[in-house]
Structure 1
Amino acid sequence: MARPWILSIIAFIGILTNAVALPQDYGDLPTVDLKPLLIDPVRKWSANTTVSFPNSPAFEASTERWTIADPPTYIAAIRPGTEGDISKVINLARSRRFPFLTRGAGHGYSASLGKFQHGLSLDLSQWKSLKIDKKAQTLTVGPGVTFADIFDPLFNAGFYIQTGSCSCPSMIGVTIGGGIGRLMGKYGLLMDALQSVRLVGADGKVKTVSATSHPDLWWGVLGAGANFGVITSATYKIHPLVNNGDVFLADFFLPASRSREYFDMVETYYSNASANVAQIVIGSWNRTTNSVQVGGNWVYYGPEEEARRELAPVFNLNATSVTRVVKWNQIINRSGGGFDKFVCQPNQPRSLYSLNQKIYSADGYQRGFKKIEKYFHDYPGGRDTTLVYEIFPNQAVAAVPDDATSFPWRDFKGFIQTNFAWAAGDEVTAKASEKLGEELRNDFSATSGYSEQAIFVNYARGDESIENVYGKRKLPRLAKLKKKYDPSNLFAYNHPLPTQYP
């Protein structure tokens, strides 16, 4: 049986290093002894707030991360029980000048997260509130809610929503960077479903932010939300199930020798695919056959008869395939051989390089595939690495006016991501991965359809330019918002914005 392959990885927290001066540069904050500050009785934390320190189970749970490559370091952690306690943390950090990092599900993978050192983990992973309003057709969740938490409740209530392709990231964390996925052709970004958020700002005050309440801040939250505060809840528009919630899934596998044939088929027939179809292509090592393979996971939101007509060019390849009809809430568990559980394992060394794609290029896909094929043969320690091409139609994304949100890339039609993975301590493979990652990112840029590198903020590695992530057109307005709502740059570790641009 073919080894299952990785799905798209959606990230929550990352850091952007750039040449623009920030109001508080990294490394300027001295290490502060947080223990006396946090346990001082004057703080009067709520009864359900937990403060923890290294070498305790609570601390380990509050600082655990998805990847351990270039990790941030902590000297204390707090699980606040109330919004008031979050306000206290923010006010304390501002007055005593120590760094803190908000944690939803710990899925940030930016290589520069290592610049956050000796700070406080503001852990919201236990904020698991979830409410469905059937009449209003809305879903309201807390920052600890992951995609895995919403599938069954939504489906059982008769609804669904556009989501990412992995079950374990924080839903809110994914949303405030955009939120891409298989339904974006039909319903847009996850961010486009957002109706309002409750946010504790840099001033320690709680705000309801929406199109009618603090509309200037709302514009910034929709694409750069991690820069402006701690979101304690978010309300989304949800959609009634169609086709009884049935979705057609098809996994196709081909040997490396047929990779170009597959990529040509994708470019020829699916460069302008319908909004109901989406695909994730994976180049991976098959440990059963000890060889490299191409896998394509296709999803069609509609009846099986329609799906088979839409996917006829894929079926005509006569590849090894597995097809089935599943319910919407089972897509992630059943796609790609059930690899989601493996993907979501924490505490693994991982390094990711990503790019947006505006066109589907068989030439670019093939060149990248040949290089990852050579890497698999040269570095056996990296054979859990995957090369991912996300083929997502963008009709509903592109339909939203560009100036409606701070999100800069509404013309993309997918993403390219190399997800390197190796065993802890394997420095040879780690160095080879970093070298190839940079090379592939540069190569793919030439066939992405963009004149320069364009990076989806949730996929940003952290070493790109600020323009590559937020776009030159949006940065002047974003910088003004940063100066207004976070002038002291308390929220400095999630792809930080400058307070002036250019």
Structure 2
Amino acid sequence: MALSGRFPPLKWVSLLVWLLLWAGEIDAARVRVDLRSLLTDPARGWSVNTTVSFPGSPEFVESTERWTIFRPPTYRASIRPGTEADIVKVIKLVTSHNIPFLVRGAGHSYTTTIGDLRDGLNVDLSQLKSVEVDKTAQTVTIGPGVTMADIFDPLYNAGFELQTGSCSCPSLIGVTLGGGVGRLQGHHGLVIDALVSARMITAQGKLIEVSRDSNPDLFWGIRGAGVNFGVVTSATYKVQPLTDGGDVLNVEFIFPPNMSSAYFRAVESYNDNLPSRLASVTFIGYDAPTGETRVSAGWTYFGPREEGIEALAPIFDVGVPAASLSMIPWNKLQASVGGGIDRLICQGNTVRDLYSLNLKNYSASTYEETFAKLEKFYADHPGGRNSVVSIEFFPNQAMAAVPLDETAYPWRDSTAYVNPTFIWAEGDNATKQAAGKLGRELREDFAATSGYDAPTVLINYARGDERLEQIYGRDKLPRLANLKKTWDPKNFFSYNNRLPTRYP
């Protein structure tokens, strides 16, 4: 279509709006309404456990707390539903009034795209924390406010385990909807591979069942891109008997600067042969007591102690004695690894800016370059010394055994995930600028030796500045776009790495 001639300004505006509507790319109009009056109207009929809060109140602060406050969303109100029926009411209310909103399970999402939400409504599901273990069916059914920490004891006490992520504080359902990588993915697969069914509220305000037998296309889509289609109010997972009775070998190492290269070469030796039950989370960070950059590595083996020690031979051969070696019950593993670093990692209301990437190749030279660049960053910017680069070395045997077309998740060949995480105090703009520059540089460095032809990242780790193909996979996008057009054509669920309604 060719356009020519001169148009008065108002006609240009009208033409532009028409073109956007014609192309199907304009969002539902967001109308500013009086949220206080709307939410507190007795006609709403909220349950006694549902609470509404507004800026300036302690309840609002608690309800909107986030893991990172880097480029956060802003809200004019928050609602904390006490029942599933009230969540349905909320979704019908916000969609009928075109109110921009975000759903919060545990406030752990860190993509910068959520910062596009301004003056919206926070829908906080954190009080819906039911956990029901069915020993006969070998399943667990959870509510949307359940974190990974909430399931460890109930499952362990019933004799079961479930693959989870690598820290305890995110919402389990939130982790699931993005795929769910973790230490057990080589043994049990991704978290989505354990998902049996979900109850979901659609953009139309309908409560539906999603499983292989009910809405199977949507079940395919929520396993890897689920935040785009609705609100999951409960999820049922297949659980597994405790591996080796539930005892996990945990070995912690601390490598001084002069031994870091030897450690990285040992890790590189696991290329293409990382045992299915062996996993590590390795940190490159600043050690305040010594004033040095160092490597700390926690290795876990889900099996007998002797087997684990044998599997760790390349690491022991570096020649640095283990800082600790112990058998830990599965339900206590997350809180114990790294000397209890999980508690520090889960601290909220902190500025964090992440530049994550998938890897399927281990590159000692890249890790060495990263170490050197971090050393310089710490020396030049003391305000950034809480920043770290974590590398999750997770095997992929069970996850890769699932056919790629089974779910929307596209990156089943990954065997590691790198997370450069930059932390600074609010107002320290010099460190902020330096962190952004180094973060982008490190992401490019890791991409060059990642084993992929182009950068890739799972949605839960995406920063938000990546191309859609790098998050969802080019081959998955046509089907995902069709699902988006079917289930959320007006883009109500639009602030977490939003899918298009057509592709290409």
TM-score, normalising length from structure 2? 0.93
Question: Is the counterpart of residue 426 in structure 1 residue 442 in structure 2?
Answer: no
Alpha-carbon distance between aligned partners in 2 of 1:270 and 1:315, rounded to the nearest angstrom: 17
Distance 1:103 1:269, change over 3 A: closer
Question: Is the counterpart of residue 211 in structure 1 residue 212 in structure 2?
Answer: yes
Which range moved further: 243-252 or 422-431?
Answer: 422-431
Alpha-carbon distance between aligned partners in 1 of 2:217 and 2:92, rounded to the nearest angstrom: 23
2:181 aligned partner: 180
1:475 aligned partner: 477
1:17 aligned partner: none
Alpha-carbon distance between aligned partners in 1 of 2:270 and 2:81, rounded to the nearest angstrom: 51
Distance 1:340 1:22, change over 3 A: farther
Contact 2:31 2:97 in 1 (8 A): no
Alpha-carbon distance between aligned partners in 1 of 2:303 and 2:127, rounded to the nearest angstrom: 36
1:62 aligned partner: 63
Contact 2:113 2:497 in 1 (8 A): no
Contact 1:275 1:394 in 2 (8 A): yes
Distance 1:269 1:406, change over 3 A: closer
Alpha-carbon distance between aligned partners in 1 of 2:420 and 2:151, rounded to the nearest angstrom: 28
Q: Deviations over 1:232-261 (max 9, x none)?
A: 000001111122211100111111222221
Aligned-pair Cα RMSD in Å:
1.3
Q: Deviations over 1:343-396 (max 9, x none)?
A: 111111110010000111112222222211211111111111111111111001
Contact 2:182 2:190 in 1 (8 A): yes
Which range moved further: 364-373 or 169-178?
Answer: 364-373
Contact 2:111 2:496 in 1 (8 A): no
Cα drift, residue 22 of structure 1: 7.4
1:8 aligned partner: none
Alpha-carbon distance between aligned partners in 1 of 2:198 and 2:158, rounded to the nearest angstrom: 22
Cα drift, residue 25 of structure 1: 4.5
Q: Deviations over 1:79-101 (max 9, x none)?
A: 11222222222222222111010
Cα drift, residue 202 of structure 1: 0.6
Q: Which amino acid aligns with 1:423?
A: A
Which range moved further: 218-227 or 39-48?
Answer: 39-48
2:275 aligned partner: 274
2:162 aligned partner: 161
Residue 371 (structure 2) aligned to one of 355, 369, 374: 369
Q: Which amino acid aligns with 2:302?
A: Y
1:112 aligned partner: 113
Which range moved further: 129-138 or 362-371?
Answer: 362-371
1:396 aligned partner: 398
Contact 2:251 2:326 in 1 (8 A): yes
Give the secondary-structure state (helix, strand or coil) at the position aligned to 1:411.
coil
Cα drift, residue 307 of structure 1: 1.0
Cα drift, residue 425 of structure 1: 2.0
Cα drift, residue 35 of structure 1: 1.0
Contact 1:83 1:200 in 2 (8 A): no
Alpha-carbon distance between aligned partners in 2 of 1:205 and 1:372, rounded to the nearest angstrom: 50
Alpha-carbon distance between aligned partners in 2 of 1:413 and 1:201, rounded to the nearest angstrom: 34
Aligned length: 481
Q: Which amino acid aligns with 2:125?
A: L
Give the secondary-structure state (helix, strand or coil) at the position aligned to 1:185.
coil
Alpha-carbon distance between aligned partners in 2 of 1:24 and 1:154, rounded to the nearest angstrom: 45
Distance 1:215 1:257, change over 3 A: same
1:36-435 counterparts in 2 under 5 A?
Answer: 36-321=37-322, 322-435=324-437
Alpha-carbon distance between aligned partners in 1 of 2:116 and 2:106, rounded to the nearest angstrom: 19
Q: Which amino acid aligns with 2:317?
A: N
Cα drift, residue 407 of structure 1: 0.6
Contact 2:67 2:347 in 1 (8 A): yes
Q: Which has the higher contact order (CA 8 A, sep 6+)?
A: 1
Contact 2:27 2:491 in 1 (8 A): no
Alpha-carbon distance between aligned partners in 2 of 1:113 and 1:241, rounded to the nearest angstrom: 37
Q: Deviations over 1:325-359 (max 9, x none)?
A: 11111111111111111111111111001000011
Identity %: 54
Alpha-carbon distance between aligned partners in 1 of 2:55 and 2:321, rounded to the nearest angstrom: 50
Alpha-carbon distance between aligned partners in 2 of 1:122 and 1:446, rounded to the nearest angstrom: 40
Cα drift, residue 270 of structure 1: 5.0
Give the secondary-structure state (helix, strand or coil) at the position aligned to 2:315.
helix
TM-score, normalising length from structure 1? 0.94
2:12 aligned partner: none
2:13 aligned partner: none
Q: Deviations over 1:206-247 (max 9, x none)?
A: 001001000011010110000111000000011111222111
Distance 1:55 1:341, change over 3 A: same
Cα drift, residue 295 of structure 1: 1.4
Alpha-carbon distance between aligned partners in 1 of 2:243 and 2:44, rounded to the nearest angstrom: 51
2:493 aligned partner: 491
Alpha-carbon distance between aligned partners in 2 of 1:161 and 1:91, rounded to the nearest angstrom: 34
Cα drift, residue 166 of structure 1: 0.4
Give the secondary-structure state (helix, strand or coil) at the position aligned to 1:336.
helix
Distance 1:233 1:23, change over 3 A: farther
Give the secondary-structure state (helix, strand or coil) at the position aligned to 2:282.
strand
1:446 aligned partner: 448
Unmatched runs of 5 consecutive residues or more in structure 2: 1-22
Q: Which amino acid aligns with 2:466?
A: E
Alpha-carbon distance between aligned partners in 2 of 1:80 and 1:337, rounded to the nearest angstrom: 36
Alpha-carbon distance between aligned partners in 1 of 2:114 and 2:319, rounded to the nearest angstrom: 45
Unmatched runs of 5 consecutive residues or more in structure 1: 1-20
Q: Deviations over 1:128-165 (max 9, x none)?
A: 00000001100111111101111111111111111111
Alpha-carbon distance between aligned partners in 2 of 1:191 and 1:94, rounded to the nearest angstrom: 28
Alpha-carbon distance between aligned partners in 2 of 1:473 and 1:202, rounded to the nearest angstrom: 25
Q: Which amino acid aligns with 1:396?
A: A
Alpha-carbon distance between aligned partners in 1 of 2:455 and 2:24, rounded to the nearest angstrom: 23
Alpha-carbon distance between aligned partners in 2 of 1:271 and 1:253, rounded to the nearest angstrom: 25
Cα drift, residue 56 of structure 1: 1.3
Alpha-carbon distance between aligned partners in 1 of 2:157 and 2:368, rounded to the nearest angstrom: 42
Q: Which amino acid aligns with 1:70?
A: R
Alpha-carbon distance between aligned partners in 2 of 1:24 and 1:339, rounded to the nearest angstrom: 44
Give the secondary-structure state (helix, strand or coil) at the position aligned to 1:296.
strand
Q: Which amino acid aligns with 1:238?
A: V
Q: Which amino acid aligns with 1:136?
A: A
Alpha-carbon distance between aligned partners in 1 of 2:121 and 2:438, rounded to the nearest angstrom: 34
Alpha-carbon distance between aligned partners in 2 of 1:270 and 1:182, rounded to the nearest angstrom: 17
Alpha-carbon distance between aligned partners in 2 of 1:288 and 1:157, rounded to the nearest angstrom: 43
Contact 1:177 1:224 in 2 (8 A): yes
Contact 2:167 2:334 in 1 (8 A): yes
Contact 1:357 1:413 in 2 (8 A): yes
